[in-house]
Amino acid sequence: MSEHVHSQESFAIPGLIRRYVDRNVGSGPAPRRVRFAQIGKMQLKPGRWLSFAAKQEMAIHRVEFAWDARFRLATLVSVHVRDWYRDGDGGLDGRLFGRMPIIHAGGAEVARGEAMRYLAELPWAPHAMLANHALEWREIDGRSVEVSTLVGKTRVAVMLQLDSQGDITEASADARPRLVGKEAVPTAFRGIYSEYRVIGGVRMPTRAEAAWLLSEGPYPYFRGRLTDFVVD
């Protein structure tokens, strides 16, 4: 059993998660953060998938991340998008050619949605599952757990599903804020993780897909894979 597990015995972390971390991270002290690179596509408008290349950082001891991506719109035309959460605040900013502001979203609802992104992406920062004391866990059954955190005075939560091998294969929530124009609308979402392998010394899913679960059916909006991973 890893040193992570022994050092966190006082926290109510489900055995499913302890075993997941022990299997995928191994022994040793938790790092301050993880950094990784992604490539993929996002469907920002129905029928229009745009390719992106991104770099992301996730803090291990607190709920915090930053995602910096470049989307190619056309030859020599790109949009730089930054998605982030820190200290109870979060937002989304987009700039054409990295300079001209074209997208901005912020406020309490957006911050809650960004905090939920951190929770949903914990398989890409598995060290945080035991080291981040801002997380609270609740085991639902033998294959699922709920992880939650506070954003201000509001608790947000994400469900993580595990397969028969003990790997996290799905993250979901019934009401995650989704931007519709300038309004954040609570919407169900689901993310699927696959292709576990060792990258940067850590075993984790290297592919992911995400979709909003709309009344007319699923609306997939993200398909990506990790290309690099390091711990600091």
At 201, the pLDDT band (50, 70, 90 cuts) reads very high
Q: Retrieve residue 115's tokens.
A: 């905090």
pLDDT digits (tens, 9 = 90+) for 49-94: 999 999 999 999 999 999 999 998 887 889 999 999 999 999 999 9
Phi, psi (deg, nearest 5) at residue 12? -80, 70
Largest CA distance in the chain: 55
- Predicted local distance difference test score (pLDDT) of residue 11: 56
pLDDT digits (tens, 9 = 90+) for 111-121: 999 999 999 99
CA distance 147 to 95: 33
Secondary structure string (H, E, C) spanning 26-68 = CCCCCCCEEEEEEEEEEEEECCEEEEEEEEEEEECCCCCEEEE
Per the DSSP assignment, residues forming a β-bridge with 71 are: 52, 79
Phi, psi (deg, nearest 5) at residue 186? -60, 125
Comparing CA positions, the residue from 173, 98, 127, 174 lying closest to residue 26 is: 127
List the domain boundaries for the chain: 10-227
* pLDDT at 186 > cutoff 80: yes
Q: Which homologous superfamily does the CATH classification assign to the domain defined by 10-227?
A: Lipoprotein localisation LolA/LolB/LppX (2.50.20.10)
